[in-house]
Amino acid sequence: MDPIAATAEPAPADAPQRRNPVRRPFLLLSALLILYTGALLVYSQTMAFVWDEGFHILAAQLIDRGETPYLDFCFPQTPLNAYWNAGWMAVFGESWRVTHTIAALEIAVAIFLVMDFVFARFFIVRWRFAAALAAAIFVGFNVTVVQFGPVSQAYAIGLLLVVAAFRASVAAVASEKWLIAGAAGLLAGCAAGTTLLTAPVAPVLLIWIVVSNRAGGRWAKGGAFVVGALVPFAPMFWLFAKAPRRVFFNIVQYQAIFRRVNWNGATPHDVDVLSGWLNDVQSLLLGLLAPAGLWYVARRSRWDVALRREFYLCGWLSLVLVLYISTAHPTFSRYFIFAIPFLTILAMVGLYWAGSRLGSPERPLFPTALVIALVVLALARALFDDRDSEKWTEYQDIARKVDQVTAPNGRLYADEMVYFLTRRMPPRGMEFSYAHELELPAAEEKLYHIISKRELTEQVKAGKFDTVQSCNDDMIDKMGLTNLFPHEADIGDCSIFWGKVKGK
């Protein structure tokens, strides 16, 4: 049965209706999405920058040079995003512009999948266009999506994969073909293979497919889903067989134990993040409208069961992702990006419920325009506040200066972005700067390819580096770089030191 099938006449005002083959509204939505994509591409090439993307894009560069994560360098992430970026750079060149372009396009496709779902499933014809437009804006103009999506990290590809896995799962329960369930599992597994922040998506979708199946064998689909979800982890299983301790350290041990080393304020930080939605207009709208939408769906007893279950699935995915991500210690607000599409779908139902009570149920313009304006203005404010933040172009200036003062075979101590831009191989153990905070036995540091900050300080003072670049004032002071090196240049908030270390 079509989950959007109309009820018999006379139907209640909020009963699900069959999708009308009206092309013009959907074409207009698609045209607006194309315009948005163009704007996001411009942003990705000008303002988009996240400091943490440095070790991600450096890992991709090292992969293109024949290195292997875990075996050759420390990379405490699941590896698919690094290989994905490496593949695109192998084709189009080693540039951050390549990875940013791909990420921006991934965000646009994810928005399309959300927008299309809302347009197809929305139960009031007069609200269909408005709800789909609002859904696209709730996702596409979300501050987290814009600022952290079009970069080299796994946010964009992970967002696309979880939404695609959701859409495939919805299609799988209505089809007799188990291959669609296998595709849903493959997409969910790939999402977890790019970032473990999406790990709960696969089990939620698996359970939902088995419970909600309407055609074909549910257990065959469940088995196909599991097989599909395991396929993306085959390379990791192979790496684990070759170097179990190194893979376990990077994927499990570092994430579970070492992320919060030397961070005394991690717990207050988490409290601040988990309560931050109260001070954020966009998060507050999602936090209020999504539960309202779920409550509204739960009260529609005359709706088709299949349609209600699709909205319930959005609720389960939102809840499980939020709870799971909240357990990360420390956690960050950007981690919750993967729950935004599912909260948005429910929020559109909540928008209809609230809007139809504030005004006429037949007139969606005012309530939709109001929430869209709030979302857009919140993004505009965030971008204005971010106008003077670091950008890749500043690091390009730093890289040029580093190349100018450092011999081709000179030993360089720098941020990951500088290694990437100068195309210089980082000294072993310096591919992931956060690992410098760890203090492990010498044998373990060698095994895991890490160097402690204490050892690095000793090497700097012993004159082992020809050039040192840093944007960390505390590190510069603690190492005494100003007094050690005869030459210094400042670019933005960063400093470059070079020359023979005094006294050596």
Q: For position 7, what pLDDT does the model report?
A: 34
Distance separating alpha carbons of residues 64 and 61, to the nearest angstrom: 5
**What does the domain layout of the chain look like in residue ranges?**
392-498
Q: 3-class DSSP state for residue 496?
A: strand
Q: Which residues pair with 468 in a beta bridge?
A: 413, 497
Q: What is the pLDDT, as a whole number, of residue 504? A: 64
Helix axes 155-173, 340-358, angle to 10 degrees: 70
Rounded-to-integer distance, Cα 1 and Cα 8, Å: 14
| Low pLDDT (below 50) residues in the chain | 1-13, 17-20
What pLDDT is recorded for position 272?
84
Please say whether the dihedral angle defined by the alpha carbons of residues 24, 27, 138 and 79, taken in this order, is positive or negative: positive
**DSSP codes of every residue in 100-150:** HHHHHHHHHHHHHHHHHHHHHH-S-HHHHHHHHHHHHHHHHT-HHHHHHSS
pLDDT score at 490: 93
Provide the pLDDT for residue 210: 94
pLDDT tens-digit readout, 242-285: 999 999 999 999 888 877 766 667 778 778 888 887 888 999 99
Distance (Å, whole) CA 292 – CA 290? 5
Cβ-contact 103, 150 below 8 angstroms: yes
Give the per-residue pLDDT at 1: 35
Q: How far is CA 425 from the centre of its chain?
A: 27
The pTM of the full predicted model, rounded to 2 decimals, is 0.91
